[in-house]
Structure 1
Amino acid sequence: MHHIESLRISFPAGATGGSVAVYPPGSNFGPRTMRDFEFVWIIQGDVTWQCDGVDHAAPAGSILLARPGMRDGFRWDPLHETRHGFYHFTIDLAGAELPAMEEWPLVRRLPENDIIRQLFCHVDWLMRSRPDHWLVLAEHAMRHALLAFITGAMAVTGDVGPPLHPLIEQVVAHVQRRWAKGRLEQISLDELAEAAGVSRAHLARIFRAHLGATPVESMRILRLDRAAALLVRTNLAINVIAEQTGFENAFHFSRVFRQQYGHSPRAMRLRIAAGENMPTIPLVRVRHLSARMWQKPPG
């Protein structure tokens, strides 16, 4: 394979990194017609990907590559919660000597330690933190991920992702256990502080210092993050999404969602269907908390 340096990757305008979506058992998404390329990383659950009329098994640890013009849809795990990450991008193949796109794999199973997940996490960090030359670095990282996927050269060793403050990690572990059955119930500050083994005031100081939000605010943002993903990645009714994400009713959910994202849930779903970008969490450091919460299965 020669001249791969001429391969160019671009992200949608306003991209802020990949997103992680979580679905209740038995959910479906699609069908849809792809406008660009999309990597889909199955983190948890056994998924069936319906691509151009053909079913592909995609268990946890799989990476899928959807391409422009494909007609696809997903049947999420019928018995258990499903988690997946996704990244949209475009490719300029001019001058790149690669196998014909028809020869590229559709699905790959990742080895236990692989470069692709590390590259995805690196792209997330670059887009959240935006150091000098972040966009060029992110495009190079995604190009590396694409080439690793095409060639199968994916193996590596080591862990990924910087840890959060130890008290926040304790809260994450507790919340994951509480939310493991699928419904994101409201959790009080008293309960979070007890899980961390500290006072309410001390836990609030730690969260503000490291995440820029209180513990309760952070949990609400995470629930809205899940709700936004369900709105644009499933066909679930809005009242069902409200119930799944721990809101009292659809009216309360719509009011809080509008405060967070500037649009009602129904309007957001229509805007995404019309081609707008996926909404992102306003607080950068809470986006990192979201990645830790959804990409790491409950212990």
Structure 2
Amino acid sequence: MERGAAAALFPAVRSVWAGSIVYPPGGRYGPRVQQDIQLVLLHTGMLNIQVDGEARQVQPGTVILLKPGHHEMFYFAEEQSTWHRWISIELEPGGAEQKRLLEKLPWNVPISEELNRLTDVMLSLQGEGEPAYETLKALGISALELFAAEQQRIRAKLEAHPSVAAVKREIQNSYAESWTLRAMAEAGGVSPEHLVRLFQRYEQVTPMKFLWNYRVLKAQEMLAYTGLSISEIAERCGFQTSYHFARSVKQRTGLTPSAIRAASWEGKDSGRQQLNGE
């Protein structure tokens, strides 16, 4: 989709809503017929989805696009909880131009930090008394723009240097694994020394620092949006001990894992109380 094309859908937007849910191991949802445009951000676990009978597997760290009128069935990871968030955009029935714009959007892309933060903002707005409906509509269109732009950004990074993109993709798909610089270099098809130079040039950090920063980012998400214990989160994010986990989180965020969780949950409780008139 060309830049700004998603904004063309704005006059047709009836409403926008965001949500967050954790499914237990072996959870299922459906069947259903999709009514809206929906972005589904998969943070932890695994998702197997059937769309009109076609099976697709979704990896954590991925956002997928679901379009109106399709039959869907969701199957979640068998051995662990699955956490995902979503943004639903309800449109007025459209014609050929609306269909053309939607067809230009990709099926899935990695979750960008910008889309993650935008989803945070939408959930926060919904938790502060009367939701700002017009603001949510604008943010929903912005989410589609970010979704479309991510594909272009991935293409640009691949063109900039495929080795860096390959290593980042491997890390994002398996950040809990035990990574070494040599293993990263093998994934990128270059020597360890050359990979360090490439990352410093294109990402302004070393490969190992990128890995630890990404682990902390995923840990923050789990602390804020799941009920997993701190030790479970540490293990799922690739930290050898809870002490190492707490120290890394504090170094990169200035807060302890417990403080991050408390601040996030306090905000959610406050929002629920306002909505319930307490």
With structure 1 as the length reference, what TM-score do the two structures score?
0.47
What is aligned with 2:139?
142
Provide closer, same or farther for how the CA distance between residues 158 and 245 of structure 1 changes in structure 2, counting only shifts above 3 A. closer
In structure 2, what residue type is equivalent to 1:171?
Answer: V
2:252 aligned to 257, 260, 268, which one? 260
Give, in whole Å, the separation in 2 of the partners of 1:211 and 1:196.
Answer: 15
Paired residue secondary structure (2:209): helix
2:105 aligned to 105, 114, 120, which one? 114
What is aligned with 1:160?
151
- 1:270 matched to 2:266? The reply is no
Task: Report the aligned-residue RMSD.
Answer: 5.1
Give, in whole Å, the separation in 2 of the partners of 1:221 and 1:244.
Answer: 15
Provide closer, same or farther for how the CA distance between residues 25 and 226 of structure 1 changes in structure 2, counting only shifts above 3 A. farther
Paired residue secondary structure (2:240): coil
Residues 116 and 145, structure 1, Cα contact 8 Å, conserved in 2: no
What is aligned with 1:297?
none
Offset from partner CA, 1:232-259 (integer Å, 9 cap, x none)? 1110000111111111211111111111
What is aligned with 1:107?
none
Give, in whole Å, the separation in 1 of the partners of 2:149 and 2:237.
Answer: 34
Offset from partner CA, 1:93-125 (integer Å, 9 cap, x none)? xxxxx89xxxxxxxxxxx87538979x979649
Offset from partner CA, 1:41-67 (integer Å, 9 cap, x none)? 1455159xxxxxxxxxxx964669xxx
Give, in whole Å, the separation in 2 of the partners of 1:24 and 1:264.
Answer: 26
Paired residue secondary structure (2:152): coil
Residues 25 and 82, structure 2, Cα contact 8 Å, conserved in 1: no
Same amino acid, percent of matched pairs? 24
Structure 2 gap ranges (5+) = 1-9, 28-37, 50-56, 59-63, 68-74, 94-101, 119-134, 269-278
Offset from partner CA, 1:179-229 (integer Å, 9 cap, x none)? 2xxx70231112111222222221111111111110000001111111111
Paired residue secondary structure (1:41): strand
Q: What count of residue pairs does the alignment treat as equivalent?
A: 191
Q: Which moved more, 1:158-167 or 1:229-238?
A: 158-167
Structure 1 gap ranges (5+) = 10-17, 29-38, 48-58, 65-74, 89-97, 100-110, 128-137, 149-156, 277-299
Paired residue secondary structure (1:248): coil
Provide closer, same or farther for how the CA distance between residues 76 and 145 of structure 1 changes in structure 2, counting only shifts above 3 A. farther
Q: How does 1:103-252 map to 2 (within 5 A)?
A: 114=105, 124=115, 142-144=139-141, 160-163=151-154, 164=157, 165-175=161-171, 179=174, 184-252=176-244
Give, in whole Å, the separation in 1 of the partners of 2:106 and 2:179.
Answer: 36
Q: CA deviation at 1:40?
A: 5.8
Give, in whole Å, the separation in 2 of the partners of 1:172 and 1:82.
Answer: 22
In structure 1, what residue type is equivalent to 2:210?
Answer: S
Give, in whole Å, the separation in 2 of the partners of 1:226 and 1:202.
Answer: 27
With structure 2 as the length reference, what TM-score do the two structures score?
0.51
- Greater RCO between the two (CA within 8 Å, min separation 6)? 1
